[in-house]
Amino acid sequence: MDIFEKCRNYTIARMAQAADLYPYFIPIENSEGTEAIIKGRRVLMFGSNNYLGLTMDPRVRQAAVKAINEFGPSCTGSRFANGTLELHLELERRLASFLGKEAALVFSTGYQVNLGTISCLVGRGDIVITDKDDHASIVDGCMLSRGEMRRFNHNDMEHLERVLKGLAPDVNKLLIVDGLFSVGGDLAPLPEIIKLCKDHGVRIMVDDAHGIGVMGNGRGTCAHLGVTDEIDLIMGTFSKSFASLGGFIAGDEDVIHYIQHNARSLMFSAAIPAANAATALAALEIMENEPERVDQLAKIAVRWRLGLKEMGFGIGNSVSPIVPIHIGGLEPALFAWKKTYEAGVYTNCFVPPSVPEGKCLLRSSVIATHTEEQIDRALEIMRDAGRELGLID
């Protein structure tokens, strides 16, 4: 037996590449935020998580340059050892204040936040409850823990109640949900979830990687729904609205202190460089001082959603800048992605296992700096492609 045999038999991606229908790992030669250059051709970017358009903001870029000049390109160590900078601590203080929590802790990536936080809090004999549409990092954090994972149907409160009623009352329990779901663009019904969790003695963690900077005047889904004080832990990332790289967890000081000394993905990973921390700080300051960016993003998102819906595309329950365009089968989704990409609109193609069989889609997302002309052009391309492929009338 050869452990690499499965690698030689893995042909699905190569088949898509051979058919020129491979939508992944596409190298971008240059990016201007709302547009990008790919293979020498300019396309409209509707597949980015750069929701507030801050990757191109000169203040954010200058903060990164200044930090590199002062600290160099690396911290050369973990936060636990020699990798903690005053910039990290300032960022943690500012994030905690921004989100209305006692403390925050910065990790090297958002993915590592969930791996480290969940695996150190959920131990043997504990139970962690998740929505079936939760992000892969949540699932992996649960698998890495020694606890038992229970799942409920997406945003189905009746099913969640049945799950909670079936749990022993004397067992430690943590429920984890996305605030703003990264593919569907819909929100978790946090007020209903909170009520059920209070009835059954369950702590709550919200992964708001996509919601912070987008909802609640930038403070996220919990603030948008007015439930921040009733959520135990709020997770966020810097790779979306913060125009950087890294992630964080915010909550009560004693809980954050425990995570700081027990999360292996924090303790044994190099800290984010000063440039990333400074970039996130600059982005945070813009969010605080320019809430009109969030308002502009919301307006553009409404225009994009309504435009697609009026054409006849299924967009699910999206209420955000993340708008899924439901296609159905694998081949139609690949052809739809290729057609719109070649016509000048970049989206992300989601196929199994990231979505269920027969529910393939194009994940589109808008940016606060998209112009009306760009939205109109993208809608025109989507309409022409949809009609040609028989997806809409």
The reported pLDDT for the residue numbered 257 is: 98
Q: In the chain, what is the straight-line distance between the N-terminal and C-terminal CA atoms, in Å?
A: 53
The per-residue pLDDT for 32 is 84
pLDDT, tens digit, for every residue of 181-225?
A: 999 999 999 999 999 999 999 999 999 999 999 999 999 999 999
* Highest CATH level, class, for 58-289: alpha beta
Is 0.85 surpassed by the pTM of this model? yes
* Cβ-based neighbour number of residue 230 at 10 Å: 16
pLDDT in the model for residue 295: 97
Mean pLDDT of 101-106: 98
Q: Is the peptide bond before 353 cis (omega within 30 degrees of 0)?
A: yes
Q: Is the pLDDT of residue 7 over 90?
A: yes
pLDDT tens for 348-359 read 999 998 899 999
**Residue located via tokens 């809980």:** 255
pLDDT, average across residues 251-277: 98
- pLDDT over threshold 90, residue 94: yes
Model confidence at 314, pLDDT cuts 50, 70, 90, reads very high
pLDDT at 117: 98
Query: Tens digit of pLDDT for each residue in 355-384?
Result: 999 999 999 999 999 999 999 999 999 999
- Give tens-digit pLDDT for 20-72: 999 999 999 998 899 999 999 999 999 999 999 999 999 999 999 999 999 99
Tokens 């971008």 label which residue?
A: 28
Is 272:287 a contact under the CB 8 Å cutoff? Answer: no
- The CA distance from 205 to 122, in Å, is 12
DSSP E strands in the chain: the ranges are 30-31, 35-38, 41-45, 103-107, 127-131, 148-152, 173-178, 203-207, 233-237, 247-251, 322-328, 345-346, 348-350, 360-365
Domain ranges of the chain: 5-51+291-388, 58-289
The label of the residue with tokens 């190099």 reads 270
% of the chain beyond a pLDDT of 70: 100
Handedness of CA 192, 195, 201, 207 (dihedral sign): positive
**Residue 104 carries which side chain, given as an amino acid letter?**
A
Q: Domain spanning 5-51+291-388: which CATH class is it, in words? A: alpha beta
- Under DSSP, is residue 85 helix (H, G, I), strand (E, B) or coil? coil
Please report how the helices 58-71 and 274-289 are oriented relative to each other, as an axis angle in degrees rounded to 10. 150
156 burial class (0-12, 13-18, 19+ CB within 10 angstroms)? middle
Q: Mean pLDDT for the chain?
A: 97
Which band of pLDDT confidence, cut at 50, 70 and 90, is reported for residue 92? very high
Report the pLDDT averaged over residues 318-339.
97
Residues 6+ apart with CB under 8 A from 283: 52, 54, 57, 60, 213, 238, 241, 242, 243, 244
Q: How far is residue 193's CA from residue 176's CA, in Å, rounded to a whole number? A: 10
| pLDDT at site 1 | 85
Max Cα-Cα span within the chain: 61
Q: Are 333 and 360 in contact (CB under 8 A)?
A: yes
In the predicted structure, residue 124 carries a pLDDT above the cut 90: yes
The pLDDT, as a whole number, for residue 198 is 97
Task: Report whether pLDDT(233) > 90.
Answer: yes
In this predicted structure, the answer to whether residue 143 has a pLDDT above a threshold of 90 is: yes
Q: What is the CA 318 to chain-centroid distance, rounded? A: 15
Strand order across the beta sheet in which 173-178 lies? 103-107, 247-251, 233-237, 203-207, 173-178, 127-131, 148-152
Look at residue 183 in the predicted model and tell me its pLDDT.
Answer: 97
pLDDT above 90 covers what percent of the chain? Answer: 98
